[in-house]
């Protein structure tokens, strides 16, 4: 096995380099059930992150609609008050 890279080296590596090293070291590694549990948790976290991004987009859209409707309401109130 190779030496473990420093934190700075690890952060500086591209995704492709990390994948290559993972694949190379994975050929000779023995893993336990924790490895699979970690991967399941990572995937669940990814799904939750994507779901939260969807909720955030919906909230942004609703905020824009409410802003436009509030502006229209303010204009209509101003017209009604001035017409009286």
Structure tokens at 38: 């970690």
Return the H-helix or E-strand segment holding 20.
helix 15-26
pLDDT in tens, 9-68: 999 999 999 999 999 988 888 889 999 999 999 999 999 999 999 999 999 999 999 999
Q: What's the pTM?
A: 0.65
User: Is pLDDT of 1 > 70?
Assistant: no
CA contacts within 13 A on the Cβ side of 71: 6
Confidence of residue 70 (pLDDT cuts 50, 70, 90): very high
Q: Is residue 20 part of a domain?
A: yes
Tokens of 27: 């050929």
Count structural domains, the chain: 1
For residue 71, the model assigns a pLDDT of 98
2 part of a folded domain: no
Asked if residue 18 is part of any domain, the answer here is yes
- CA–CA dist 43, 46 (Å, integer): 5
Query: Is 1 domain-assigned?
Result: no
**What CA–CA distance (Å, rounded) separates 39 from 43?**
6
What local confidence, expressed as pLDDT, does residue 2 receive? 64
Note down the domain range covering 72.
7-83
Residue 41 lies in a domain: yes
């Amino acid at each position: 096995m190779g030496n473990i890279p420093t934190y700075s080296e690890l952060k500086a590596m591209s995704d492709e380099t990390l994948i290559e090293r993972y694949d190379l070291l994975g050929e000779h590694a023995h893993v336990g059930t924790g490895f699979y549990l970690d991967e399941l948790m990572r995937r669940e976290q990814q799904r939750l992150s994507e779901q939260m991004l969807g909720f955030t987009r919906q909230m942004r859209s609703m905020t824009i609609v409410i802003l436009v409707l509030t502006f229209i309401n303010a204009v209509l109130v101003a017209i009604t008050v001035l017409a009286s």
